[in-house]
Amino acid sequence: MRRIEDANAEALKRMLSADLVLVDVVPAAEAIPALKDRMILHAGPPVDWARMCGPMQGAVTGIAVFEGWASDLKEATKMAADGAFDFHPNHHFDAVGPMTGMTTVGQPLMVVENRAYGNRAYCAINEGLGKVMRFGGNDSEVLDRLRWLRDDFGPALGRALRHTGGIPLKSLVARGLTMGDEMHQRNVACSGLTLRTLAAPMVDTATDNKALSRALAFIGSNDQFFLNIAMAMGKAMMDPVRGIDGSSIVTAMCRNGTDFGIRVSGTGDTWFTAPVEMPEGLYFPGFSEADANPDMGDSTIVETIGLGGFAMGASPAVAGFVGAGAASEAGNFTRTMSEITIGENPEWTIPSMDYLGVPTGIDIRLVVETGLAPTINTGIAHKQPGIGQVGAGVVRAPMECFQQALVAFAKSVGVS
Amino acid sequence: MHETIIKDLLNEPLKVVNIGLEKFTSDLNEQAVEVVQVDWAPPAGGDPELAALLSKLGA
């Protein structure tokens, strides 16, 4: 239908013309004025306390203690079960969060501005590896780190970013792709490039040498530091694509550990959900599939913009890390995703694939027609809160989400 | 003329392209016949209602 092709061309144009800049770090209350006390934003589509998976519940109780709403985890659990907290998806508030994706009023949020369309998107700072809240961690080590991010690191990062006038992200990601990142399970190059860009401004704006040293070491020791920046970038890129009448392009994919959800431009902010799947991958020594939690997090926003599993060809190292096969097969994932997308991104190219642009603009019609579900590179969380990442793998978005979306989309354009 | 073409075909090594079910490919491979397998499935996994919608939506 001409109407759909025109609407999708507009959607692709908005994606490709986005001008994405990391500009600041601000308290969540300032970034999202609608975020109130005892409101908890989580990853994925809507989910209530009773249906949350173990790590998500663990994170909720931890963040309640961090915010001072509960004196300990036991009290926080009771409060959550009694309905004391107001749960909403990050996506409803211009935000995204990895894994459990906790966003609350007292946290510092990184701000990515889409200067072509005037919108902003937010994501909390990546906590590093090991025991972290995004995997459901909630002990004193986890909460102390969150306090340090709030009181020390976040403000320091914000000062440095304001000092630079912002870091343009599209060119940084383009370089990262040529250096082997796909921006979901491998961010080592982009994290390094970010540190290189920030080092001098962080020195220039530092108030204390010891704090500066700790901040630089924190970024330098975290290969996934850039992931949360890439996520806010993805959200800032996709939000202007929402609500284009007649467009069948996916604007968000996310999961909460219970359900997988997608949104489609032409059907507005409706979620199409299905039970989330288990990732298939490789486990760290001492862990197995029996330990794994179902797939979780808003990080699938990076696949929505053509990175992550869609850019696997740029990152043969990731193909091995997530157990997706030989390095020589990495390009097949990218080629397959080209069958369900309407274009390529000429600014984000893959050298080893003759500078093929990453597949861009997931069309639900193509997904349902081909039966090829989006490929997602993902970390695997332990199903018990607080243990952390136990592996990495590949997971497919459930086809049922796209089938439901197709039926609703057809109605929206008068087809039945 | 047609008869000649068919005779030639049967006297030359086979060039086979198989679409869909891989069983036909594996059977021929076992007989040392080279086959190019085309990865194909019916639209929408064979669901007639979804396939009809896709047809109307111009996919």
Interface confidence (ipTM) of the complex: 0.86
The answer to whether the CB atoms of B41 and A370 lie below 8 A apart is yes
Beta strands in A268-355 (DSSP E): 272-275, 280-283, 296-297, 341-350
Largest CA distance in chain B: 47
Q: Nearest CB to A403: which of B43, B50, B56?
A: B50
Is residue A280 within 8 Å of A393, Cβ to Cβ?
A: yes
Please tell me the distance from the alpha carbon of residue A157 to that of residue A205, in angstroms, as a whole number: 9
Q: Nearest CB to A415: which of B41, B43, B56?
A: B56
Please tell me the distance from the alpha carbon of residue A218 to that of residue A239, in angstroms, as a whole number: 30
CA-based nearest distance B37→chain A, Å: 16
Please tell me the distance from the alpha carbon of residue A293 to that of residue A260, in angstroms, as a whole number: 13
pLDDT attached to residue B24:
92
The answer to whether the CB atoms of B54 and A368 lie below 8 A apart is yes
Q: Which of A50, A73, A3, A39 is nearest to A256 (CA)?
A: A50
Q: State both tokens at A316.
A: 């043969």
pLDDT attached to residue B44:
94
Beta strands in A181-330 (DSSP E): 250-256, 259-264, 272-275, 280-283, 296-297
CA-based nearest distance A369→chain B, Å: 4
What lies within 8 Å, CB to CB, of B27 at 6+ separation is none
Q: Which residues of A touch B (CB under 8 A)?
A: 1, 4-5, 248, 363, 365-366, 368-371, 399, 403, 406-407, 409-410, 413, 415-416
pLDDT attached to residue B50:
97
Q: Which residues in B lie closer than 8 A to residue A369 (C-beta atoms)?
A: 43-44, 54, 59
Q: State both tokens at B12.
A: 């030359």
pLDDT per residue rounded down to tens, chain B (59 residues): 577 777 777 788 888 999 988 899 999 999 988 999 988 888 999 999 999 999 999 86
Handedness of CA A239, A258, B41, A355 (dihedral sign): positive
Mean pLDDT by 10 residues, chain A (416 residues): 96 98 98 97 98 96 98 97 98 97 98 98 93 91 97 98 97 98 96 98 96 97 97 98 98 98 97 94 91 95 98 90 81 96 98 96 98 94 84 93 98 94
Question: Which stretches of A341-383 are DSSP H helices?
Answer: 364-370
Q: Helix B48-57 to helix A399-412 angle, to the nearest 10 degrees?
A: 50
On whether the pTM is more than 0.90, the answer is yes
What lies within 8 Å, CB to CB, of A333 at 6+ separation is A309, A310, A312, A313, A319, A324, A375
